[in-house]
Amino acid sequence: MESNIEGKVIVITGASSGLGAATARHLSARGAKIALGARRQDRIQSLADELVRNGAQAIAVTTDVTRHEEVKALVEAGVNAFGRVDVMINNAGLMPHSPLERLKIDDWNRTIDVNIKGVLYGIAAALPYMKAQKSGHIINVSSVAGRTVRPGSAVYAATKSAVLMISEGLRQEVKPYDIRTTVVSPGAIATELPSSVTEPDVAGLIGKFYEQYAIPAESFARAVAFAISQPPEVDVNEILFRPTRQEG
């Protein structure tokens, strides 16, 4: 079924490591053309070079998802390079957990800017092209945390819950244009996400949890590939998965 991936133009934010990089490798190996976006230009350029050496078509565009004009430029670059955009993967995210009483307001603002505004800016950048094409697929990354909250995770969980609602609203709105929507909600995955925790004591606890439970980023890439590879009349709206041993 994954032959439905071949030839598709796929834009990925947060592509310099973790989920984004693993997904870029997985999809490009199946014939997709990839536009990589992230703040770390050296990392995404190195990844793009790797994909090209392996026979894929890929470009890298420095992108801060908190800036609408940069996300728009990423999608435009993909269209200019490959002629269209078939899939937009809004993957960039932060997880700076801390108890609310510590008043980490800068962390709150960054989390909202990346996890919510970044998704909205990705939708805004890709949607006009997909409407004109009367086809496309927007994939937003939420989290298991979008359904449950624990002490210290209130702001992060709220942003990931918002991604669920945005995705469902989008699903209902884009039906006239034959655009598909998927929200992927993973549990603990081995990525750099825990490094965004700024409180040392919280970071220590999160680190231990991920060491115990986290599964490889390729698990996320396979879930994304499953959604994309479905025939056009099949719209996989939601994928929720976690490590088998993870309780919450």
**Alpha-carbon distances, residue 41 vs 37, 63, 73, 177 (angstroms):** 8, 8, 14, 34
Q: Which segment of 141-145, 176-180, 186-190 scores lowest on mean pLDDT?
A: 186-190
Residue-wise pLDDT tens digits, 63-73: 999 999 999 99
Residue-wise pLDDT tens digits, 25-34: 999 999 999 9
**Does residue 184 fall inside a structural domain?**
yes
**Number of structural domains in the chain:** 1
**Does residue 247 fall inside a structural domain?**
no
Q: Provide mean pLDDT across the span 180-200.
A: 88
Which range marks the domain in which residue 228 is found? 2-241
Active site residues: 156
84-103 in b/e burial notation, b at 16+ Cβ within 10 A?
A: ebbbbbbbbbbbbbbeeeee
C-alpha 171 chain-centroid distance: 17
**Does residue 98 fall inside a structural domain?**
yes
Torsion-angle region of 82 (φ positive above 0: left; ψ -120 to 50: alpha; else: beta) = alpha
**Does residue 248 fall inside a structural domain?**
no
Q: What average pLDDT is seen over the chain?
A: 94
pLDDT band at 1 (very low <50, low <70, confident <90, very high): very low
**Does residue 246 fall inside a structural domain?**
no
Q: Which segment of 6-20, 150-164, 205-219 scores lowest on mean pLDDT?
A: 205-219
**Does residue 11 fall inside a structural domain?**
yes
pLDDT band at 2 (very low <50, low <70, confident <90, very high): low
**Does residue 40 fall inside a structural domain?**
yes
The CATH number linked to 220 is 3.40.50.720
Residue-wise pLDDT tens digits, 194-241: 778 888 888 888 888 888 888 899 999 999 999 999 999 999 999 999
**Does residue 228 fall inside a structural domain?**
yes
Q: Which segment of 16-20, 163-167, 203-207, 231-235 scores lowest on mean pLDDT?
A: 203-207
